[in-house]
Structure formats: structure tokens, C-alpha cells
Amino acid sequence: MVKKEVKIETKATTAEEVLKDVKQADDWAKEKSVSDVIGSTQFYPDIPKMALTDIQEVTHRLIDATVIKDFESEYGVHDLALLLVEDLLTGEQYTTACSGMVVVKKIKMLIDLKAMPLLATISKKGRYWDIT
């Protein structure tokens, strides 16, 4: 079992109350967290990010992907696909994001099928994004 740091605020005014709060925090630190079970929400934080518009209409290798449900943005609440792609010519990898409904739906299917890595081209037709 991995012990982690748990931060608490205490309103304790006596040494006995402080010790009780510290023991409670120690007990909580032994419990699993959401991140322990399903991982962090960070998606390849050490890999450079690329705007979706910078890679559109060019075939890349889609290495990995995840979907964040109910992502909140300036455009409302929607699912968001995070993609790890590789440039076929240079081998450079970067992450990008797309909330287009068609792309998100296809990415969910690819994840379920465990189909990655595979070649993919992201394009925009009018107002809609697609991945083929």
C-alpha cells in the first residue's frame, strides 16, 4: 500500500484535538483515491501539445486516445477526445484535443476495439470534424 500526503484544515485548539486530526489524516492517506483507481486526468503531460488545426488533413499515426466525459469549456459541456499522435515523417509525437461529436464517437469505438495504433487523418468539413 502506498501512503500519500493528505492535506486537511483543522480547527483544533488543543494538542489532543490536533493529534486526533493528524490520526484521521493518516487513516485517510491509507485509503485509495480516484487517481489510484483510474489514473490521473493528465494525458501525456510531458509530450508537446499541438492545435488540431495544425494537424488537420495530414495522415498521422494515432498512438493512444482517451475521452473525457462532460468536459466544460467556453462552448458548453461536451465529451472531449484527447489524442496522442505521431508524425509519420519525423516520428515526433504530440497531443491534441477534439470535441467534435463524430470524432469523439469514433475514438470511443477505437478505444473499445483496442485498435490503436493506426493511421488517421483528421479533417473539417464545414462546421464538423471527422477522423478517417
Residue-wise pLDDT tens digits, 36-85? 555 556 788 889 999 999 999 999 999 999 998 888 877 788 899 999 99
Could you give the CA distance from residue 88 to residue 82 in angstroms, rounded to a whole number? 19
Query: Which DSSP symbol is given to 48?
Result: P
Query: Which DSSP symbol is given to 97?
Result: E
pLDDT more than 70, % of the chain: 76
Look up the pTM and report it. 0.68
Domain ranges across the chain: 1-38, 52-131
Question: Is there a contact between 53 and 41 (Cβ–Cβ < 8 Å)?
Answer: no
Query: Which DSSP symbol is given to 108?
Result: H
Is 90 exceeded by the pLDDT of residue 22?
A: no
In the prediction, which pLDDT does 6 show? 54
In the prediction, which pLDDT does 1 show? 44
Q: Which CATH number fits domain 52-131: 3.40.50, 2.60.120, 2.40.128, 2.40.50?
A: 2.40.50
